[in-house]
Structure 1
Amino acid sequence: MMEGLVTLDPPPLWSGGPSPGSFYEFPTAKKQHESKSHTMYPSTSGTSVVGLVYDGGVMLAADTLGSYGSLARFRNVERTFKVTDKAVLSCSGDIADYQFIREVIEQKVRDDEICGFTPVLNAGALHCWLTRVLYNRRSRFDPLWLECVVAGFKDDKPFLGYVDKIGTAFSASEVATGFGVHLAIPMIREEREKKGTLSRDDARKLLVECLKVLYYRDCRAHFKYQLADVTAAGVTVEDNLDLKQDTSWSIANYVRGYE
């Protein structure tokens, strides 16, 4: 035997194959000892949704910005969609989770139509279903990072409801998420105290004013927005609306302490 001869291990039978005498483990096979990874924090998120009940219907609005942390990454993300002629859904929070729940709801509506189920899914039923879904995900420690606003009709009456990622749910005459809770809700309540009942024009003007304030004060807000109007006649969702022509940053010169 020659001195200094180095013995090398034989190469595997094929790249990525098993070692001699052992079994091959498929990459897709789940190992029992591995834990499931859950989303701990949204990566791309949307900010406030504001909604209110007026005389004869419900109206809500949300901007179209998808923020990647502090970066205004996606500026045309639609977070409001028509579910049926009696319900509209808008969400703030994780955009991926919103897209997921939207696909589930749209498939549910298609199944109802194919099977001929009646009555049509209304806002009250959708709100009730969302509370169960979001609470179930929270109980599995894998929540959908969303704050949902459902607008529409229930028993032929205007309905506006809120559900968040831990299943907290309620209905009210005015609902908001994000910074809208602190900035928009007081504006709406003040206007109700002055006028009592809001007309359709009053509601639209008030929502636009709320979005302006949010655009000024919320760093994650955007000037482009969607506005949904639900009446007994059906649902109207307006896209590509713009606040820029109605806003002015001249007041920034008077702000002190944030330089």
Structure 2
Amino acid sequence: MAASSHFPGQTWSSQPCVDHVAQGFSSRPAAQDAFEAGRQHTQQPIVTGTSILGIRYKDGVMMAADTLASYGSLARFMDVRRLHEVSPNTLLGASGDMSDFQFIQHELQKVMIRESNAADGHTLSPSQVYAYLSRYMYQRRSKVDPLWNSFVVGGIDQSTGAPFLGYVDLLGTTYESTTIATGFGLHLAQPLLRKAVEGREDELDESQARRILEDCMKVLFYRDARSINRFQIATINNAGISISEPFSAPTSWGFAEGLRGYGPQTQ
């Protein structure tokens, strides 16, 4: 006759409990296993930034990004800077998860410190930073633990003076172009950038390039629910990198009265 267990409706069995056996032969104490349960791969981005825009013009590269970091659909953090100076000649812009962006900033800082400690007078070029990022992102993707970001790398090669603009995403996908957009800007701003820039890269001056980016950022503010009308513009040329303080461009919502579904209008 089987003896009664401490739990109503159950009886002791001659078979040992699988959980107890697993615990008994575990190489880690139970307390450590409890902590391990919290160490998991990121399943989806939480606090995110939206589009980064980048274009080439005759004197260098120009990039733009707003300063919003959204917590899901909530416009939570209004002053997050998503343009990062990697070196005096290389700039990085990031869309996607902001904690992963902070992580890659630390990784790049370690790379730059190692280069500096070598004391050989060599500074990584934008294309070399781009190559490092592409390998790193692909390696993380291969471990099924990607960094949930899309990066735009821009800069000037100090040895040749040639401008550089490239794209890297969480899958390790890479390409170089004279116009690049990430996030929702890939759908809304990229066609505008191509029309305004492609074929004119050697003609556009700084003021024209800035006006193109401001116009595209306004479009994104109107149409992208994860964007705000507060952004930065960075310029990379032979004089170095200049990142503006956040500013707001004037906008108007008067045209919305003519949109179907806006306000009381139903027809």
TM bracket, shorter-chain basis:
0.7 to 0.9
Mind listing any 5+ residue stretches in structure 1 that lack a counterpart? 1-22
- Alpha-carbon distance in 1 for matches of 2:28, 2:145: 32
User: In structure 2, what is the equivalent of residue 174 of structure 1?
Assistant: 179
1:31–1:235 CA distance, 2 compared to 1 (3 A): closer
Instruction: Indicate the RMSD between aligned Cα atoms, in angstroms.
Output: 2.3
Counterparts of 1:25 and 1:195, CA distance in 2: 65
Corresponding residue for 2:210?
204
- State TM-score, norm by structure 1: 0.84
Q: Is the 8 A contact 1:54 1:198 kept in 2?
A: yes
- Tell me which moved more, 76-85 or 193-202: 193-202
Counterpart contact for 1:52–1:59, Cα < 8 Å: yes
For 1:240, the equivalent position in structure 2 comes to: 246
Distance 1:206 1:99 in 2: 29
Cα 1:48–1:24 change in 2 (3 A) is: closer
The Cα offsets for residues 97-125 of structure 1, whole Å up to 9 and x where unpaired, read as 00110111122212322331432122101
The answer as to whether partners of 1:47 and 1:93 remain within 8 angstroms in 2 is: yes
**1:253 is matched with which residue?**
257
Structure 2 unpaired stretches of 5+: 1-26
Shift of residue 156, structure 1, vs aligned partner: 2.0
Shift of 1:153: 1.7
Separation (CA, whole Å) in 2 of partners of 1:247 and 1:117: 50
Change (3 A) 1:38 1:258: farther
Within 5 Å, give how 1:184-223 maps onto structure 2: 184-192=189-197, 197-223=203-229
Provide the rounded CA distance (Å) in 2 between the counterparts of 1:165 and 1:109: 22
Query: Structure 1, residues 134-166: CA drift from partner, whole Å, max 9, x if none?
Result: 000000000000000000023420000000000
Contact 1:59 1:229 in 2 (8 A): yes
Distance in 1 (alpha carbons) for counterparts of 2:28 and 2:65: 52
Larger CA deviation: 207-216 vs 100-109: 100-109
Which SS does the other structure have where 1:229 is aligned? strand
The number of aligned residues is 234
Contact in 2 for aligned 1:124/1:153 (Cα 8 Å): no
CA contact (8 A) 1:87 1:153 kept: yes
Equivalent position to 1:137, from 137, 140, 153: 140
**Paired AA for residue 185 in structure 1:** Q
Partner SS for 2:85: strand
* Amino acid paired to 2:186: V
